[in-house]
């Protein structure tokens, strides 16, 4: 396991603040109250551990296959439905949405290998990630990758009520590899994937995803 670069500043600042707070408590605020010092120390360690685990990147054997769409994020499948995709395809697509809780790994990965044909960033609201309008009104990115077999896959990084920092590392015209890092969402949100209607979805609502490992769908 390693830690993601997006967390370096947050971890450093948080660690320093907690260290100063605990030193002040030990020497001045609670110098005669051992229980208070112990409780503050434990709480500080728990908080710092939660922040560090948020930026973890586990070592995984990635799934790579030209006809498979791989989960671009860790989390739980909360939506599988046929819907109208109005931004790029402007036609019916099969939507699969993955909700990322604050306890999930939050690096985002390319679901297929190919070429980025479309990228847009949209500032917006910060509705809770499961709100029906979060896909179209929240801060978000839209990325379309044309897979090696010619099929185009669209996916969106969507900010939520807590997650207000979307990062992306791709641009139009760039060649990308399946399982390669494409971005990061800080502190929980969701990723939507739009598949062709003839794609065979391999997951069900409530299934837990492992980014870069779980097969979302088979392209026909």
What are the CA-CA distances from residue 155 to residues 22, 39, 92, 118 (Å)?
44, 44, 14, 11
The verdict on whether 189 is a catalytic residue reads yes
- Please, is 199 exposed, middle or buried when counting C-beta atoms within 10 Å of its C-beta (0-12, 13-18, 19+)? buried
Which of 113, 134, 135, 189 is flagged as catalytic?
Answer: 189
Who's near 20: CB < 8 A, 6+ residues apart?
Answer: none
CA–CA separation, 6 and 8 (whole Å): 6
Q: What is the end-to-end Cα distance of the chain in Å, rounded?
A: 35
Q: How far apart are CA 67 and CA 79, in angstroms?
A: 22
CA angle 68, 206, 214 (to 5 degrees): 25
Q: What is the maximal distance between C-alpha atoms in the chain?
A: 70
| C-alpha span between 175 and 186 (Å, rounded) | 25
- Show which residues are catalytic: 189
């Amino acid at each position: 396991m390693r830690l993601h670069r997006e967390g370096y500043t947050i971890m450093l600042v948080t660690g320093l603040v907690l260290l100063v707070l605990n030193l002040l408590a030990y020497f001045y605020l609670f110098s005669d109250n051992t229980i208070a010092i112990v409780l503050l120390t434990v709480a500080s360690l728990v908080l710092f551990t939660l922040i560090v685990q948020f930026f973890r990147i586990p070592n995984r054997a990635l799934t790579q296959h030209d006809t498979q769409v791989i989960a671009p994020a860790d989390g739980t499948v909360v939506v599988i439905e046929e819907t109208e995709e109005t931004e790029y395809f402007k036609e019916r697509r099969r939507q699969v949405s993955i909700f990322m809780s604050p306890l999930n790994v939050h690096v985002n990965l390319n679901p297929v290998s190919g070429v980025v044909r479309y990228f847009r960033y949209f500032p917006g609201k910060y509705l809770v990630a499961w709100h029906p309008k979060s896909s179209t009104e929240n801060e978000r990115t839209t990325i379309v990758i044309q897979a090696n077999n010619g099929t185009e896959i669209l996916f969106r990084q969507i900010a939520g009520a807590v997650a207000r920092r979307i990062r992306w590392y791709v641009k139009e015209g760039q060649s990308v590899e399946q399982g390669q890092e494409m971005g990061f969402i800080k502190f929980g949100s969701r990723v939507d994937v739009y598949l062709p209607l003839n794609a065979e979805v391999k997951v069900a609502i409530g299934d837990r995803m492992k980014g870069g490992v779980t097969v979302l769908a088979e392209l026909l």
